[in-house]
């Protein structure tokens, strides 16, 4: 059951990050991957900065979305170069 929740949170976070960042997008599968990796980045960054967003699905989605936005920003910089 945990894997399904990770995929759902990743999909939502990837989609939200794509909406916030606006642009061409990378497709559904890549959005899910970006959301999951963004969850790791957001969780790590929040821990390093001492930020506690909350627990549960909503906190996970917010954290993953923040990480996915950072990841998309970096990916778009690399894609431009």
Domain ranges of the chain: 2-80
Instruction: Supply the pTM of this predicted model.
Output: 0.83
Whole-number Cα distances in Å, 60 to 4, 32, 35, 41, 80: 14, 14, 11, 12, 30
The pLDDT tens digits along the chain (81 residues) read: 588 888 888 888 888 888 888 765 677 778 778 888 988 888 888 889 988 877 788 888 888 899 999 988 888 888 877
């Amino acid at each position: 059951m945990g894997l399904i929740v990770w995929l759902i949170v990743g999909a939502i976070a990837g989609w939200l990050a794509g909406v916030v960042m606006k642009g061409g997008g990378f497709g559904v599968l890549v959005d899910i991957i970006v959301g999951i990796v963004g969850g790791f980045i957001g969780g790590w960054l929040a821990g390093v900065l001492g930020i506690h967003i909350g627990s549960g699905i909503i906190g996970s989605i917010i954290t993953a979305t923040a990480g996915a936005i950072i990841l998309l920003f970096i990916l778009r910089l690399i894609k431009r170069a």
